[in-house]
Amino acid sequence: MDPTVKLKANDESAPIDRGRYQRLVGKLIYLSHTRLDIGFSVSVVSQFMNYPTERHMTAVYRVLIYLKMTPGKGLFFSRTSKRNIEVFSDADWAGSVTDRRSTSGYCSYVWGNLVTWRSKKPSVVARSSAEAEFCTMEQGICEGIWLQRLLSELKVTLD
């Protein structure tokens, strides 16, 4: 996705065929389960399923071009000697143009392999970037604790 382009619902560009847009985005949603690199872009373009415009379709085409140019990307699990859990989190404060809400996300790695991830817009507007980051970090820590307890129940030792 082009980071300089902010998509919004009431755009000045011309409306397009809603059925075609919905079919394309639906296929991208299905594909995003194994291609994590397009997850954020697909979540952005899926917000405009009711009234898509040419700018929205251009963003979908960018995702399709990216997919064509990057075959072989996707989830890859490798054998490593690391026996730990790592969780990374991030948030963009008031990143949405339409409702000024943040987008927060985290991903967790077990033994160096990506196992869980999440990206969402919270139900409330954060008052500061520190609050947005703190809430996202809280979600990531909860995920890490859950993974640690799950592995301990399975009798897996961690470093």
Cα separation values, 24 from 20, 21, 43, 60, 66, Å: 6, 5, 13, 8, 14
For residues 66 and 140, what is the distance between their CA atoms, to the nearest angstrom? 29
Task: Classify residue 30: in a domain, yes or no.
Answer: yes
Indicate whether 52 and 98 sit together in one domain: no
Q: What is the pLDDT of residues 88-110, one digit of tens each?
A: 999 887 777 677 778 888 999 99
Length of the chain: 159
Task: Classify residue 158: in a domain, yes or no.
Answer: no
pLDDT score for 99:
74
Q: For residue 58, with 0-12 CB atoms within 10 Å meaning exposed, 13-18 middle and 19 or more buried, which class applies?
A: middle
Number of folded domains in the chain? 2
Contact 88, 106 (CB under 8 A): yes
This prediction's pTM: 0.62
pLDDT at 143 over 80: yes
Q: Which residues lie closer than 8 Å to 42 by C-beta, 6 or more apart?
A: 25, 28, 29, 31, 32, 63
Domain boundary among 28, 48, 75: 75
Least confident of 1-5, 8-12, 88-92: 1-5
Q: What is the pLDDT of residues 50-93, one digit of tens each?
A: 889 898 999 999 999 999 998 887 777 788 888 899 999 998 87
Domain boundary among 30, 46, 75: 75
Domain boundary among 31, 54, 75: 75
Indicate whether 109 and 141 sit together in one domain: yes
pLDDT score for 127:
83
Indicate whether 7 and 71 sit together in one domain: yes
Indicate whether 119 and 59 sit together in one domain: no
Place of tokens 């919270």: 122
pLDDT score for 149:
94
For CA atoms 122, 125, 126, 128, give the dihedral sign: positive
Contact 85, 49 (CB under 8 A): no
pLDDT at 2 over 80: no
Task: Classify residue 11: in a domain, yes or no.
Answer: yes
- Which backbone phi and psi does 71 adopt, to 5 degrees? -70, 155
- CA 117 to chain CA mean position, Å: 8
The pLDDT mean for the chain works out to: 86
The parent domain of residue 109 ranges over 85-153
Indicate whether 24 and 63 sit together in one domain: yes
pLDDT score for 5:
74
Q: What is the pLDDT of residues 18-42, one digit of tens each?
A: 999 999 999 999 988 878 888 888 9
Task: Classify residue 45: in a domain, yes or no.
Answer: yes
Indicate whether 66 and 8 sit together in one domain: yes
